[in-house]
Amino acid sequence: MLTDYQTTVENEYTVEGNVGVLKCRIRVSSGASLASNRIKVVNWLRQDAVNGPRHVVAVGPKYAITQGGSLHIAQTTLQDAQAIFYCQTMHTLTGKRKLSSAGKVFLAADAQKNTVPRIEHATVTVHAKTGDPADLVCTGYGTPPPVYRWYHEVSGGVLEEVRRSSMVVRPLDSILRFVRVQRQDAGHYVCVVKNVLGEDRKRLTLLVVNLLSVTVRPTLQ
Task: Give the pLDDT band of residue 3 (cuts 50, 70, 90).
Answer: low
Quick: pLDDT tens for 93-125: 888 899 999 999 999 876 668 999 999 999 999
Q: What is the pLDDT of residue 113?
A: 81
* Assigned CATH class of 5-107: mainly beta
C-alpha to C-alpha distance for 28 and 2, rounded to whole angstroms? 8
Quick: pLDDT tens for 146-182: 999 999 999 888 999 998 766 567 778 899 999 999 9
Q: What is the pLDDT of residue 70?
A: 95
Q: What is the pLDDT of residue 221?
A: 46
Given 2.60.40.10, 1.10.490.10, 3.90.79.10, 3.30.379.10, which CATH number is that of 115-209? Answer: 2.60.40.10
Is pLDDT larger for residue 217 or for residue 169? Answer: 169
Mean per-residue pLDDT of the chain: 87
CA dihedral 93, 7, 67, 145 (to 10 degrees): 170
Quick: pLDDT tens for 36-68: 678 899 999 999 988 899 999 999 989 999 999
Pairing of strands 12-14, 105-107: parallel
At residue 220, does pLDDT exceed 60? no
Output the pTM of the full model.
0.86
Task: Give the pLDDT band of residue 215 (cuts 50, 70, 90).
Answer: very low
At residue 34, does pLDDT exceed 70? no
Residues of the chain with CATH 2.60.40.10: 5-107, 115-209
